[in-house]
Amino acid sequence: MCGIAGIYDRRARHIDRALLEKMANTVRHRGPDDSGLFLDKEIGFGHTRLSILDIEGGHQPMQSTCERYTIVYNGELYNYRELREDLKKSYAFRTQSDTEVVLAAFKTWGEKCMARFNGMFAFGIWDGVDRALFLARDHLGIKPLYYVESGDRFIFSSEIKAILAEGSVSPEVDPTSLDQFFTYRYVPSPRTMFRGIQKLRPGHYVKISARGNRTEFYWTRRQTRGAQNKNEAVEEVRRLLPEAVERQMLSDVPVAAFLSGGLDSSLVVALMSRASASRVQTFSVGFEGAESGENELPIAREVARHFGTDHQELTIRPGEYWRYLRKSAFDLEEPNGTSATLAQYFISRLAAMNVKVALSGQGADELFAGYRRYSGERLSGYYRRLPDILKQRLLPSLAERSGRISLIRATRSLLRTGQSDRLQSIYAVFPEEDKQSLYNDGFKQSIRGHEGSVSDSIDYWLGAAGAPSDPLEAMLYIDLRVWLPDELLTYGDKMCMATSLEMRVPLIDLDLVEAVEAMPIRVRVPNLTGKYVLKKAAEAYLPKRFVYRKKKGFPMPLLKWLSGDFGEEARNLILSQAGGCHRFLELEHIQYLFDYCRRVKDHRPLYCLLSFELWYRTFILGERF
């Protein structure tokens, strides 16, 4: 994988070479093997490369044979060989790289080339004749792309740190983004936690010139007819799965896999083992202090033994976790309230000692309905038909008495009538009523009049062409376009790239996604059975005991750790009057949350506070841990 950076000046002032080098050096960890610069009056590109395909010939920035177009590219184009066959009739290729295929495709087909790509990517192309910059991000937002407009300058990069290094923008908290973070535990596109800095939405491109900017989406839900019954669906997915994995194993360096022992990663390993002539390398992590029933390392070992992989594992200790947690804000660049982010770092670090590329099972839950919340959304229609006394009083009261956070949140969400409001309520870590107690008066004042912006990303996608109207289908659609790219794939990219490792996600290969989204919801999720189609398809590749294991997620003994020295340090950091929580939140309510979260066994609110505090100290106060 690679790091990209660039500056465009609308007033055609020359770009400073030293400044561009500074930006590129900031993302050097994304591409330690090679680097390059391109400058042409008002445009400057910087690139750092992790060499995976055409190791000798893929140097960037790269110019087209006619020298009109120049590209800076981060990604992998999985169908580049097929596209190359079409393009070589009119384009004289000089390398074997997928970068040149993207460049040739843009030269030949212009913006319409985006409809032909299957891959993960973020890139910029400079048109030296029209003096225009074209930026694009892949369909599902697997690769990040950030940008900011400051005066007459348009600055972009794979990471926010490079934009800050350019110097036109100072790091400031965006209050609306902070409100979104405390709602969802991440900041949805196009916002970031930094005022003025944005991230390009998945499946979008933007064209920038002296005349202005034009942003378009080039990909939406496929409107063709998909499999019409369960058997057809299972057969189609069964056929597409090995194609997706084999396509994403394409590399000139060894490719390994992350293995948790769950269905998704086990399926990836099974398909890699079928396709590979040599032993697949696999990597797993566990946590010291995890209960025996929650420790996935023995399960991962069983899968590794079954497929004869070259397996390595790591047990994370509380002290090690805490030491990197304090440093992680710099790598993540934005607060992220998911405690599994650091597990991704440790497994990536282990893998990076051995390989440059690892396949992950991420994305299958969002595509095939693997979370419990999907069942609740399907039931919402029935819930709203109940008598008011049951809906408004009896059931919410019973949920509160149960003390189960998931049940309380599910009941609250079912009371919402609008689709956007209901989805926001389902996703919320801090519901609106809780945020009123958490926020201090100054913070409330700063977001007054912008409360509706919390759901603007959900509203945007629900209003896009092809958006589904069925409640369950809409949730899956939003998860693939908001939750997955802005939360899971973002931290996956940042944690892997911090160790100079490329992560690939074959279970959301574009062909597979389009086929599954084209299925009627009754076929995709029959009888509210999550992952039915994937599990049935997986039976051809995995023993049933692997397919039908109970889902565990990524078990961490975080509440147990928070009751020890780790928790005391976290409390002191969050409650300190020198930090971000003190500036925006009510410390009295935070103290209440420490006791409440232990009582109901939900660490997420505390982890959100800790993540924000570390981010604030790192980027706003300039502290280094």
CA distance 19 to 16: 5
Alpha-carbon span 502 to 491, nearest angstrom: 13
Please report how many Cα atoms fall inside a 13 Å half-sphere around the Cα of residue 406, on the Cβ side: 7
Does residue 597 have an active-site annotation? no
Which of left, alpha, beta for 363 (phi over 0: left; psi -120 to 50: alpha)? left
Q: Shortest CA distance to 244 belongs to which of 514, 463, 39?
A: 514
Q: Which helix (H) or strand (E) holds 315?
A: strand 310-316
DSSP 199: E
Tell me which amino acid residue 129 is.
V
* Among candidate residues 607, 614, 600, 506, the one with its CA nearest the CA of residue 554: 607
Torsion sign over Cα 454, 121, 491, 161 = negative
Please count the other Cβ atoms lying within 10 Å of the Cβ belonging to residue 469: 8
User: 322 CB contacts (<8 Å, ≥6 apart)?
Assistant: 561, 566, 569
CA distance 140 to 119: 9
With tokens 């928070």, the residue in question is 562
Closest C-alpha to 531, from 363, 375, 377, 368: 368
Whose tokens are 């390392």? That residue is 297
N-term to C-term CA, the chain = 27
Tokens linked to 382? 């029935």
Q: In angstroms, rounded to a whole number, what is the distance separating the alpha carbons of residues 8 and 50?
A: 25
DSSP letter for 486, please.
I
Catalytic residue among 2, 113, 597, 608: 2
Helix count and strand count (H, E) for the chain: 30, 17
Sign of the alpha-carbon torsion through 136, 137, 140, 145: negative
Supply the DSSP symbol for 33. S
Tokens of 90: 């009119």
Active centre residues (catalytic): 2
